[in-house]
Amino acid sequence: MTSVPTQAHRGARNTVRLRLDGWTVAAALVAALPAVPILSLALTALGGSFGGWSELAAYVLPAAIRDSAILLAGVGLFAAVVGCGAAWLVTAYDFRGRRSLEWMLLLPLAIPTYVAAYAWLDLTHPLGPLQSGLRALLGFTSPRQFRLPDIRGMGGAILLLGLVLYPYVYLTVRATFLAQSATLIEAARTLGVARRDVFRRVALPLARPALALGVSLALMEALNDIGASEFLGVKTITVSVYSTWVTRNDLPGAAQIALAMLLFVTALVFVERWGRRGQRYAASARNARPTRPMRLTGWRGVAAFAVGFTPVLLGFLAPATHIAVQAVKRLDFAGLSGSIIREVLNTVAVATFATVVIVALGAVAAYAARLRPAGAAPLLARVASLGYAVPGTVVVIGLIGPVAALDRGFAAAGGWLGVATGLVMIGSGAALILAYAVRFLAIGVGGAEAGLARTPLALDGAARTLGDTPFAALRRIHLPLARGSIAAAAILVFVDVMKELPATLLIRPLNFETLATHLYAEAARGTYEDGAVAALIIVAVGVLPVILLSRIGTTAAKS
């Protein structure tokens, strides 16, 4: 007997459909976050004079693009060589200290690029500890008798950025090396490939997609950098945007350079995708036998550990130790200043609020994609993640127009009500939170998607059968089950927001300083010892995601 749907049943189905459409609309609003600043950036750039653009195209852009291209090529090559070499060392060979080296190679991720440049500039100063110690060891008494080359310049920038950013390549390539089956290596050996050629002819070609991904991540971070490049005297596109806006007070000109920078980033992403065309990760079967590392003993084992430990020493231990020593000296001399305490509170407050907003928006976009897998919601979730590929400087330039329009709207409404509102968006820090949301929303979406993927789809149907709305199912079922992945994403967002310099520097409220902006100001003035405490706090908190990544990597390797 076939039942005829009643009006109540039709109304219930329409209600569910309306709720699902509401989630899609919410996902569309989240996806609009990165789209709005990009559209505004183009409009702001078009608002500038053609004569100004001609001047920028003739005198500013060529040098900026040249320096950026050289910097990215050098950093990409350095990160690829060091990251791949370190990944192969700890997966293909077994020696004393290898297990410790596996997670220590991630430690440079804890140091932002501008902090590394800040520390190494002070370390290698003619009167700094490194050169003073070398002169004392060699019997010289004056910098005129013995002096190391200045690290300021393109070579120093490539070296320092490469030392900090190579873990992106190490992470992705090591995961691929661990997934490769021993059968592939043994088959190559059977076909006459010498052991020393296995890496070049077998393992590395199979890891090319992971290598391309890791290098592209490192290059995105290098292009987003503003502090290290400016400290080291390299005039990249990012530095040109900042100087054009702040120094020359030319917002349309800065927008024009930022638009060129966005095209540069788009080309970079396209090249990375093109480099991985037609390729897939070579993963072993679930029960495939993993590659057994070759045991190194004696001087070979010591040499292997020394080679692997060198990037850890130069990229983390040396700058972190110097910062810690200088911070202790500063605290012993002047104590903990009230300004540092205020900056810590400002940093924690803005990072916490931004983390809550980003994680919530990411959960909305990811859950909408789960509810409507055949609709537009999955595409909207991908669009919402595009902001991570856009440098913070470009995001801020693109947000200035919409934020100014909102402030004018609030001022008009306040005038109609007889209330002086002032700059609501910029003055309250809401514009800064919005910039963080555009920049790091991809982490929130990715964390929520990873957590939701672990929940069987059958639970959604069971919840609806029991009368739960999609929101109730999210609150009572999905969020508790996905809390581990969401918490991991929240940690990454918190630390990334705390370390973010370009966006904070450009759109923070007046007289609002964070640890990152305080350190930038002290380094710009050359008073390195005054910024040591802020740098130490940034590095200490930056260790959190490194610990998280090392645990995730260990779990993945065991599984």
- pLDDT digit string, tens, across residues 410-427: 888 877 877 777 777 887
* Mean per-residue pLDDT of the chain: 80
DSSP letters for 228-270: HHHHTT---HHHHHHIIIIIT--HHHHHHHHHHHHHHHHHHHH
Region of 102 please: left (phi>0), alpha (psi -120 to 50) or beta.
Answer: alpha
Q: What residue ranges do the domains of the chain occupy?
A: 17-40+336-525, 48-333
- Determine how many CB atoms are found less than 10 A away from the CB of residue 413: 12
pLDDT of residue 379: 80
Correct CATH for 17-40+336-525 of 3.40.1710.10, 1.10.3720.10, 1.10.260.40, 3.40.50.880: 1.10.3720.10
Mean pLDDT for the stretch of residues 86-112:
89
For residue 272, what pLDDT is reported?
Answer: 62
Q: Same topology for domains 17-40+336-525 and 48-333, yes or no?
A: yes
Strand partners for 93: 294
Confidence at residue 14, expressed as pLDDT on a 0 to 100 scale: 46
CATH topology of domain 48-333: MetI-like fold (1.10.3720)
pLDDT at 410: 80
**Is 160 within 8 Å of 116 (Cβ atoms)?**
yes
Average pLDDT over residues 103-128: 87
Radius of gyration of the chain (CA): 26
Read off the amino acid at residue 519: L
Q: What is the pLDDT of residue 9?
A: 44
Q: Is the dihedral of CA 452, 453, 455, 457 positive or negative?
A: positive
Q: How far apart are CA 536 and CA 531, in angstroms?
A: 9
Is residue 552 very low, low, confident or very high in pLDDT (cuts 50, 70, 90)? low
Strand (E) or helix (H) holding 94: strand 93-94
Helix (H) or strand (E) holding 295: strand 294-295
For the segment 97-122, the average pLDDT, to the nearest whole number, is 89
Quick one: pLDDT at residue 37?
Answer: 85
Burial class, 124, CB count within 10 angstroms (exposed 0-12 / middle 13-18 / buried 19+): middle
* % of the chain with per-residue pLDDT over 90: 14
Distance from C-alpha of 466 to C-alpha of 84, rounded to nearest angstrom: 52
Contact by Cβ (8 Å): 188, 101: no
Judge residue 448's burial from the number of C-beta atoms within 10 Å of its C-beta, 0-12 exposed, 13-18 middle, 19 or more buried: buried
- 521 or 290, greater pLDDT: 521
Of 222-236, 261-275, 414-428, where does mean pLDDT reach its minimum? Answer: 261-275
Predicted confidence band of residue 82 (pLDDT cuts 50, 70, 90): very high
pLDDT (0 to 100) of residue 52:
60
Distance between CA atoms of 255 and 315, rounded to whole angstroms? 34
Q: Is 5's pLDDT higher than 60?
A: no
Taking the CA atoms of residue 444, residue 445, residue 446 and residue 450 in that order, the dihedral angle to the nearest 10 degrees is 100
What pLDDT sits at residue 269? 67
Q: Is the pTM of this model over 0.85?
A: no
Per-residue model confidence (pLDDT) at position 171: 85
The pair phi, psi for residue 163, each rounded to 5°, is -65, -30
pLDDT at 226 over 50: yes
Higher pLDDT, 449 or 317: 317
